[in-house]
Amino acid sequence: MNSGFWLPAFTLWRRELTRFWREKARVAGFVGSPLIFWLVIGSGFGNLSFFFPGALTLTVMFSAVFSTMSLIEDRREGFLLSMLVSPAPRSAMVLGKVMGSATLAWIQGLMFLAFFPLAGFRPSAVAIAELVGVLFLISFTFTSLGFLLAWQMDSTQGFHAVINLLLFPLWMISGAIFSIESAHGWMQVLMRMNPLTYSLALVRHFLECSNGEGLPPLTMSLVVSLTTGIALWMASTFAASQRTTRNFG
Amino acid sequence: MIVVVEDLSYSYDSRVAIQDLSFAVPKGQIYGILGPNGGGKSTLFRILSTMMHPTSGCASVAGFDVRTHPAEVRRRTGVVFQSQSLDRKLTVAENLHSQGHLFGLHGRALQVRIEDLVQRLGLYGRTSDLVGKLSGGLRQRVEIAKALLHEPSVLLMDEPSTGLDPGARRDLWNYIERLRQEQDVTVLLTTHILEEADRCDRLLLLHHGRKVIEGAPAELKSRVGGDIVVLETAAENGLENSLAARFGVQPHRVDGRIRVEIANGHRFIAEVVEAFPGAIESIALHRPTLEDVFLSETGALFE
In this predicted model, what pLDDT tens digit does every residue of A144-185 receive, in sequence order?
999 999 998 888 898 999 998 999 999 999 988 888 888 888
The strand order across the sheet containing B280-286 reads B252-254, B257-262, B227-233, B280-286
Task: Give the angle subtended at the CA of B195 by the CAs of B190 and B196, to the nearest 5°.
Answer: 30
B91 interfaces chain A, CB cutoff of 8 Å = no
Task: Determine the CATH number of domain B3-216.
Answer: 3.40.50.300
> Averaged over A70-75, what is the pLDDT?
90
Answer whether A84 touches B (CB < 8 Å): yes
pLDDT reading at B128 higher than 60: yes
In percent, how much of chain A has pLDDT > 90? 53
d(CA A85, CA B78): 9
A244 touches B at CB < 8 Å: no
What domain count does chain A have?
A: 1
Contacts of B52 in chain A (CB under 8 A): 243, 245, 248
Question: What residues does each domain of chain B span?
Answer: 3-216, 225-287
Per-residue model confidence as pLDDT tens digits over B43-83 = 999 999 998 899 999 999 999 999 999 999 999 999 998 87
What share of chain B has pLDDT > 70, as a percent? 99
Give the pLDDT confidence of B191-210 residue by residue, as tens digits. 998 888 999 999 999 999 99
Contacts of B97 in chain A (CB under 8 A): 11
The residue type of B249 is V
- Residue A246: the pLDDT is 47
Question: What is the interface pTM, i.e. ipTM, of the complex?
Answer: 0.85
Q: What is the pLDDT of residue A3?
A: 66
- The verdict on A153 touching B (C-beta cutoff 8 Å) is no
Please state the rounded mean pLDDT for residues B154-167. Answer: 88
**Residue B185's pLDDT band (boundaries 50, 70, 90)?**
very high
pLDDT in tens, B285-298: 988 888 888 888 88
Span A196-208, average pLDDT: 91
Contacts of B99 in chain A (CB under 8 A): 82, 86
Average pLDDT rounded to a whole number, residues B264-288: 87
| Residue A1 in domain | no
Confidence (pLDDT) at A241: 87
* Cβ within 8 Å, pair B101-A82: no
Work out the mean pLDDT of chain A and round it to a whole number.
87
Contacts of B83 in chain A (CB under 8 A): 78, 81
Structure confidence by residue, pLDDT tens digits, B246-257: 888 888 887 778
Determine what percent of chain B falls in helix, strand and coil, rounding each to the nearest 5: 40, 30, 35
* A50 within 8 A of B49, measured Cβ to Cβ: no
- Give the residue-averaged pLDDT of A62-72: 91
Contact state of B98 with A12 under an 8 Å Cβ cutoff: yes
Contact B102 A10 (CB under 8 A): no
Are B106 and A248 within 8 A, CB to CB?
Answer: no
For the stretch A30-53, pLDDT in tens is: 888 877 877 776 666 666 777 888
Question: Is the minimum CB–CB distance between A86 and chain B shorter than 8 Å?
Answer: yes
Window B:10-69, CB contacts with A under 8 Å: 12, 46, 49-53
Q: What is the arithmetic mean of pLDDT over B126-146?
A: 92
- Selecting from B12, B51, B84 the residue whose C-beta is nearest the C-beta of A248 gives B51
CATH code of B225-287, in short, is: 3.30.70.260
Higher pLDDT, B303 or B90: B90
Inform me whether the pLDDT recorded for A211 exceeds 70.
no
Evaluate if residue A61 carries a pLDDT over 60.
yes
Q: Which of A26-30, A107-111, B44-48, B237-241 has the lowest mean pLDDT?
A: B237-241
Say yes or no: B139 contacts chain A, CB-CB below 8 A.
no
> Does residue A248 register a pLDDT over 60?
no
- A124 inside 8 A of chain B by CB: no
A248, B46: Cβ pair inside 8 Å?
yes
Q: Are A115 and A38 in contact (CB under 8 A)?
A: yes
* Residue in B closest to A87 by C-alpha: B71
Q: In the sheet that B210-215 helps form, which strands lie side by side, from edge to edge?
A: B77-80, B154-158, B186-191, B30-34, B202-207, B210-215
Side chain identity, residue B62: A
B20 contacts: CB under 8 Å, gap ≥ 6: B7, B8, B9, B57, B210
From the candidates B53, B102, B139, which should be mutated to test the interface with A, based on the most A CB atoms within 10 A?
Answer: B102
A78 reaches B (C-beta below 8 A): yes
Cβ <8 Å between A19 and B89 = yes
CA dist A191 and A175 (Å) reads 7
Distance (Å) from the alpha carbon of A190 to chain B's nearest alpha carbon: 42
What per-residue confidence (pLDDT) applies to B190?
A: 94
Contact A79 B75 (CB under 8 A): no
Nearest to B47 by CA among B84, B6, B83, B87: B6
CA distance A229 to chain B (A): 26
Residues in contact with A56: Cβ distance below 8 Å, sequence separation at least 6, in sequence order: A109, A112, A113, A135, A203
Q: Check whether A196 has a pLDDT greater than 90.
A: yes
Q: What is the C-alpha to C-alpha distance for residues B32 and B220, in angstroms, rounded to an integer? A: 13
A247 pLDDT higher than 70: no
The residue of B61, B68, B101 whose CB has the most chain A CBs within 10 angstroms, and thus the best one to mutate to test that interface, is B101
